[in-house]
Amino acid sequence: MMVAPKALRRVINGILLLDKPSGCTSNAALQRAKKIFNARKAGHTGSLDPLASGMLPLCFGEATKVSAFLLDADKTYRVTARLGQRTDTADADGEVIEEVPVPCLQESDIRRVLDSFLGAGEQVPPMYSALKVKGRRLYEMARKGEHIERPARPIVIHSLNLLSFDADRLTCDVRCSKGTYIRSLMEDVAGRLGTLAHVEVLRRTGVGSFGELPMLDFETLERMANEGRQDEALLPVDSPLADWPRVDLDAASVEYLFQGRKVASPATAARGKVRVFGPRGEFVAIAKAEDGGILVPQRMFPALRLELGLPEGK
């Protein structure tokens, strides 16, 4: 019996700011988006908890080469914590394992405690997390009832603002460094308030410089796909690097970069990592600008040249 060939997946390049719904894993969201775009290659930029909704940047094609910059970027969240209860997962998806009374809290007391978390600090990751220890995910151990000591990791809380509170709930906006677990943060906040807590609602509102840009949910994406417009949802590959200096090169200089050679930069004042564009305005490379106006190639994006029908380079 003949087997029908699988439909060829498309080579597409760009970044989607997905509004991930609560209740699904980041990988499930990635696979659903990949199917909508019929994309050959895609990846996400760090997991969101299944409970959490909000911004999940997905990188397609050549954009996977810049995913690390999104993974390392600061994140912003809006979180509502239920006070007086601790769960085994530190969020509402888990089982309540301890309850204590909630003291009568004053707004000034809450703000003082929140302010005490600002700046650099350390945090112990929760057992229910995707971190690996000796090749095993912590959440896999936790599900088997195993508990191991986890070393504290450095984090930075840039802002932690109280939005509202009542007898047993408080809602905050958080801006923090990569690797910060909001579940653990709210447990620690509750501890200093003399009670327990777990995350009831969590929404990521921004990743790096993407905080002001709109997100698209699956319903919108599927409607766009039905109209053949889904690619309009993609941001340029270099959009996470928008605050880096831009250097424009002629065709010959671009070819030298693709050969792994250093070239002279017309932007002699630029230093550090820069975005390099070719003569037709195409993003072609990440380079390091050194003293003397010299560009050293760091990462090349040949597929973006091919989109314009330009030679790939060597």
Q: Which residues are catalytic?
A: 49
- CA atoms within 13 A of residue 33's CA, in its CB half-sphere: 32
Question: Three-state SS for 249?
Answer: coil
CA distance 77 to 95: 23
* CB atoms closer than 10 angstroms to residue 31: 13
Closest CA to 195 of 161, 171, 169: 169
List, in sequence order, every residue forming a beta bridge with 145; answer none if it has no partner: none
Burial of 48 from C-beta contacts in 10 A (0-12 / 13-18 / 19+): buried
CB 259 within 8 A of CB 230: no
Q: Which residue has the tokens 């997962």?
A: 89
Burial of 11 from C-beta contacts in 10 A (0-12 / 13-18 / 19+): middle
CA distance 102 to 89: 20
Element (H, E) at 251: helix 251-258
Find the angle CA(110)-CA(115)-CA(121) to the nearest 5 degrees. 125
Closest CA to 53 of 93, 24, 11: 24
Q: 146: which residues sit within 8 A by CB, 6+ positions away?
A: none
Task: Based on DSSP, count helices (H) and strands (E) in the chain, helices before strands.
Answer: 8, 17
